[in-house]
Amino acid sequence: MNSFFATTTKSFVAQLFLIIFFVSSIVLAGNPAKTDNSEAIEISFDDGPHVYWQNDTTAIIVYMCNDQIEKKILSGKDTLRFNGLCLDSEIEYKIPTLPPVAGPDIVNDGSRIFVVSDLHGEYQHFLNILKNGGVIDENYHWIWGDGHLVIDGDVTDRGAHVTECLWLIYRLEQEAAAAGGAVHFVLGNHELMVLRGDNRYVNERYLNGICRKTRIRSEDFYGPDLALGRWLRSKNAVIKINGILFVHGGISPEVMTAYPELSRLNKAASRYLDLRSSQLAFNDEARFLFGSLGPFWYRGLFEEREGRYTRLTQVEVEAILTNYDASSLVVGHTPVDTISTLYDKCVYALDVDVPVLGGLEALLWKEGLFYRVKTDGNLILIE
């Protein structure tokens, strides 16, 4: 009996050791972050800045640096100016003390328009397409002159460098304005998600880094008392530049009927951005705007959703453009293999397959023509 017990115990321990080793191997293999060439690298949780406004003139600057939280307090009458900490000490941040205001719904002075969409925290790919497309220089400063840059939604979620992407857009917005150009940030469904506390796609760099260290929820880093949160809340759901509509998901016939003017659509979306789930559940208009027929989630330009909507026809697309006095519609959200045009060049689709292409692509409009900007900056006329 004892011999049998000893033998059985040894066998059990050996099997248990093999199981633990096997499971550990799977876990360790699945955890490291991946570079573009799929080599495992150590995850860095460094992050920042996050700017918390204590009052109208004073803010606390917060960083995660080398597994420690660093803070400093700054005050200013008109603008807070500071150099970054940790890994971005060369960058100067200029943050006005006054809250940002929404930009115009319609712009008619764009000499040329450069458009990207669905960045999802892919900071290096974002830099590459802007540099290769001639929008920024090697030091990441604006050189696009009086041109316009459009970010067509979904900068947030998934990737590990969302903070860097947002601050780059924030700074380029200031530099573009000084040069006579403009940056336009159209809200996407993932901006809605981070503002509203839907953290399903938030990268572990944030959840296991600065959120865990500070005990601040991910959505609260984008709250109305944080600089990036205030800034995001000033962005539109749709804009029109030189007669071209820019929206993240698309515009359904139902949205066109409910909001025949862009200003009404933008004001309604802005009004409901901060509704909590309980409020949203009992607000029909907000649920409509933020649902599958709304401009953030709609995919009816590409596919049919049983019980929700059918795929739009050419006649329906043209009716939408006629209603808003637009010549074409530019969207992201729904994945495509490459920058594509649909509906007899009435619609342009931007949400490209970055892993397959090896980087982001962009859409360029100049002198009335549309071009596909390849990852290396080469232009292909869309005919």
**pLDDT tens-digit readout, 222-271:** 999 999 999 999 999 999 999 999 999 999 999 999 999 999 999 999 99
SS3 content of the chain, % helix, strand, coil (to 5): 35, 25, 45
The pLDDT, as a whole number, for residue 86 is 87
Distance from C-alpha of 5 to C-alpha of 13, rounded to nearest angstrom: 12
Q: Does residue 18 lie within any of the structural domains?
A: no
Confirm whether 42 is domain-assigned.
no
Q: With contact defined as beta carbons under 8 Å apart, do 370 and 329 qualify?
A: no
What does the alpha-carbon distance between residue 291 and residue 230 come to, in Å, rounded to a whole number?
Answer: 23
Provide the whole-model pTM.
0.88
CA distances from residue 187 to 39, 76, 242 in whole angstroms, order as listed: 33, 29, 19
Residues 87 and 175 grouped into a single domain: no
Is residue 68 domain-shared with residue 162, that is, in the same domain? no
Domain region containing 256: 106-381
Q: What is the DSSP string of 132-169?
A: HTTSB-TTS-B--TT-EEEE-S--SSSSS-HHHHHHHH
Asked whether residue 113 is assigned to any structural domain, the reply reads yes
Q: In a 3-state reduction of DSSP, which class is residue 343?
A: coil
Exposed/middle/buried for residue 329 (C-beta within 10 Å: 0-12, 13-18, 19+):
buried
Where does residue 338 rank: exposed (0-12), middle (13-18), buried (19+ CB within 10 A)? middle
Q: Quick one: 188 and 306 in the same domain?
A: yes
pLDDT computed for residue 42 by the predictor: 59
Q: For position 44, what pLDDT does the model report?
A: 87
Residue 33 lies in a domain: no
The total number of structural domains in the chain stands at 2
Show the low-confidence residues of the chain (pLDDT under 70).
1-42
**Is residue 41, in this structure, part of any structural domain at all?**
no
Residue 1 lies in a domain: no
DSSP class of residue 127 equals H
The answer to whether residue 222 sits within a structural domain is: yes
pLDDT digits (tens, 9 = 90+) for 351-372: 999 999 999 999 999 999 999 9
Q: Are residues 74 and 111 in the same domain?
A: no
What per-residue confidence (pLDDT) applies to 43?
Answer: 72
Per the DSSP assignment, residues forming a β-bridge with 329 are 245, 347
Residues 298 and 357 in one domain: yes
Q: Domain for residue 5, yes or no?
A: no
Q: Are residues 153 and 80 in the same domain?
A: no
The C-alpha atoms of residue 351 and residue 49 are separated, in whole angstroms, by 28
